[in-house]
């Protein structure tokens, strides 16, 4: 772990300056340009450079600009050897400047080398480079031991503070990127879940209705081709029309559910039993708002259970009990069984498998089976 800390580069987000506010960036750039301008004006004004000396000085300034720019690019790409080479170039320019009598620019350039090395290089390379640059500064800057130590220590600390600030900013940028990616994935997951819910609604409504219509219409066609009686054909057509009306009503209800325009659940159950003879509904517990998915699941199970009663036990008494619990809502649909001479139960009923899958997707359960002389369907869904 220690070796990793010493060898690790600052992140690309930290080195690139990503996340720096525009005002801060503009202020930093203006400050640097102003400082460099003042340094150059003071240097050329107070020096005795003429002719080729001025040209060499200008060449040195260009070399420094190229070195700083190249150092920024190579450290951004985490290329150690080119970075050290460019840092050595800056160091050499400072040595030459000091040799020709440009002491102040040389001291400033050594300080810059120490700061940018500490800020942008791995610590294993930054510490020796910073020590070399600040050591050269201390060797030629005769200002007493204590002031020199304080100055070099402050410069090294400033470089390390800039490094910590850049790494904190880079960490923030990575976290923001991860958060955006997580939000995009969450939005995509929500969209897929909504598509799946719409697909289930369409399947539950249209698959049952259209398949039943197809059966009746196919039977009517066969009766017509076989010379069947008019009343038999008419019964099949009327049954298909009834199925179409019921499917249309359920489709409108499903669209209302998708738009969040569902009628109150108690009102829906009352209307449902009003359409069925011998059925009553009881609602117990403290009323509470339900999500569209939970409300629609209760409606579908109640519809399917009553449809199965009409198919498999016509004339049976049906009791629907809705219970609001603290953590779940429960629906019981129980019938008394078919009267003598009528059909009896033949299974769990068409569509109950799909209702069970819907309940399980919501974290609930659906149970269906014989109970005494009749049949009971129990749905439990968490709220």
Q: Domain 263-383, what fold?
A: Heat Shock Protein 90 (3.30.565)
With bands split at pLDDT 50, 70 and 90, how would you rate the model's confidence at 270?
confident
Give the start-to-end residue ranges of the domains of the chain: 2-141, 263-383
With bands split at pLDDT 50, 70 and 90, how would you rate the model's confidence at 71?
confident
Q: Is 94 a residue whose pLDDT tops 80?
A: yes
Residue 361 is predicted with a pLDDT of 83
Q: Is 84 a residue whose pLDDT tops 80?
A: yes
Q: Name the residue with higher pLDDT: 237 or 372.
A: 237
Rounded-to-integer distance, Cα 104 and Cα 265, Å: 84
Q: What mean pLDDT is predicted for residues 221-249?
A: 79
Q: Tell me, rounded to whole angstroms, the distance of Cα 144 from its chain centroid.
A: 59
With bands split at pLDDT 50, 70 and 90, how would you rate the model's confidence at 348?
very low
How big is the chain, counted in residues?
Answer: 383
Rounded-to-integer distance, Cα 42 and Cα 108, Å: 13
Rounded-to-integer distance, Cα 112 and Cα 116, Å: 6
What is residue 121's DSSP assignment?
A: S
pTM higher than 0.85, yes or no?
A: no
Q: For the chain, give the percent of residues with pLDDT over 90.
A: 4
Rounded-to-integer distance, Cα 333 and Cα 366, Å: 11
Rounded-to-integer distance, Cα 162 and Cα 12, Å: 15
Distances (CA, A) of 334 to 284, 308, 313: 16, 11, 11
Handedness of CA 193, 294, 325, 356 (dihedral sign): negative
Written as six digits, the tokens of 303 are 């519809």
Task: Output the average pLDDT for the chain.
Answer: 79
Nearest to 361 by CA among 305, 273, 270, 300: 300
Residue 378 is predicted with a pLDDT of 92
Q: Name the residue with higher pLDDT: 262 or 60.
A: 60
Query: Whose structure tokens read 């080398």?
Result: 113
Residue 41 is predicted with a pLDDT of 64
Q: Name the residue with higher pLDDT: 208 or 377.
A: 377
With bands split at pLDDT 50, 70 and 90, how would you rate the model's confidence at 106?
confident
Number of C-beta neighbours around residue 294 at 10 A: 21
The side-by-side arrangement of strands in the sheet containing 374-382 is 279-285, 318-324, 328-335, 374-382, 365-371
Nearest to 373 by CA among 340, 332, 326: 340
With bands split at pLDDT 50, 70 and 90, how would you rate the model's confidence at 347?
very low
Rounded-to-integer distance, Cα 244 and Cα 205, Å: 11
Q: pLDDT tens digits, residue range 32-47?
A: 677 666 666 656 555 6
Q: Is 345 a residue whose pLDDT tops 60?
A: no
Q: Is 67 a residue whose pLDDT tops 70?
A: yes
> What percent helix, strand, coil does the chain show, rounded to 5?
70, 10, 20
Written as six digits, the tokens of 370 are 């014989």
Distances (CA, A) of 90 to 67, 77, 110, 129, 135: 6, 19, 8, 12, 15
Residue 350 is predicted with a pLDDT of 45
With bands split at pLDDT 50, 70 and 90, how would you rate the model's confidence at 227?
confident
Output 60-68 pairs: Cβ under 8 A, ≥24 positions apart.
Answer: 60/93, 60/96, 60/97, 63/89, 63/93, 64/90, 64/93, 64/109, 67/93, 68/112, 68/116
**Poorest-pLDDT segment among 89-98, 102-111, 255-264:** 255-264
Q: Which residues partner with 335 through β-bridges? A: 318, 375
Q: Which residues partner with 330 through β-bridges? A: 323, 380
Residue 207 is predicted with a pLDDT of 67
The answer to whether residues 302 and 272 touch, using CB atoms and an 8 Å cutoff, is yes
Q: What mean pLDDT is predicted for residues 7-23?
A: 78
**Poorest-pLDDT segment among 110-124, 226-240, 262-276:** 262-276
Q: pLDDT tens digits, residue range 180-224?
A: 888 888 888 877 776 776 777 666 667 667 777 787 788 888 888
**Poorest-pLDDT segment among 69-73, 246-250, 259-263:** 259-263
Residue 269 is predicted with a pLDDT of 82
Which of 68-72, 196-200, 275-279: highest mean pLDDT? 68-72
Burial code of 179-204, b = ≥16 C-beta within 10 A, e = fewer? eeeeeeeeeeeeeeeeeebeebbeeb
Distances (CA, A) of 372 to 305, 317, 369: 17, 13, 10
Nearest to 263 by CA among 287, 300, 243, 292: 292
With bands split at pLDDT 50, 70 and 90, how would you rate the model's confidence at 343?
very low
Rounded-to-integer distance, Cα 227 and Cα 215, Å: 18
Residue 349 is predicted with a pLDDT of 44
């Amino acid at each position: 772990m220690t070796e990793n800390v010493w060898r690790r580069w600052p992140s690309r987000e930290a080195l690139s300056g990503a996340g720096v506010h525009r005002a801060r960036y503009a202020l930093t750039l203006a400050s640097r340009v102003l400082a460099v301008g003042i340094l150059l004006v003071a240097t050329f004004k107070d020096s005795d450079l003429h002719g080729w000396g001025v040209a060499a000085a200008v060449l040195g300034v260009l070399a420094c600009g190229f070195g700083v720019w190249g150092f920024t690019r190579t450290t951004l790409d985490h290329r150690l050897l080119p970075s050290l080479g460019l840092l050595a170039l800056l160091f050499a320019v400072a040595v030459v400047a000091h040799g020709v009598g440009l002491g102040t620019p040389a001291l400033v350039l050594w300080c810059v080398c120490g700061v940018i090395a500490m800020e942008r290089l791995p610590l294993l390379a930054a510490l020796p480079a910073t020590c070399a640059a600040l050591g050269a500064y201390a060797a030629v800057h005769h200002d007493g031991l204590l002031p020199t130590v304080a100055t070099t220590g402050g410069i090294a600390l400033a470089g390390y503070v800039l490094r910590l600030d850049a790494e904190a900013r880079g960490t923030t940028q990575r976290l923001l990127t991860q958060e955006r990616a997580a939000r995009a994935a969450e939005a995509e997951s929500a969209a897929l879940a909504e598509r799946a819910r719409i697909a289930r609604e369409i399947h539950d409504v249209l698959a049952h209705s259209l398949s039943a219509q197809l059966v009746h219409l196919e039977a009517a066609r066969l009766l017509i081709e076989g010379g069947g009686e008019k009343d038999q054909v008419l019964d099949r057509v009327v049954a298909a029309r009834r199925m179409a009306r019921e499917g249309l009503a359920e489709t409108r209800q499903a669209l209302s559910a998708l738009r969040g325009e569902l009628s109150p659940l108690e009102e829906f159950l009352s209307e449902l039993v009003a359409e069925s003879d011998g059925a009553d509904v009881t609602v117990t517990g403290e009323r509470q708002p339900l999500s569209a998915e939970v409300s629609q699941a209760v409606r579908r199970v109640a519809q399917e259970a009553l449809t199965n009663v009409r198919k498999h036990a016509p004339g049976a008494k049906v009791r629907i009990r809705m219970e609001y619990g603290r953590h779940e809502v429960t629906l019981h649909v129980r019938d008394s069984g078919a009267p003598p001479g009528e059909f009896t139960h033949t299974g769990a009923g068409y569509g109950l498998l799909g209702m069970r899958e819907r309940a399980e997707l919501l974290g609930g359960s659906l149970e269906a089976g014989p109970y005494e002389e009749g049949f009971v369907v129990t749905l439990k869904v968490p709220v």
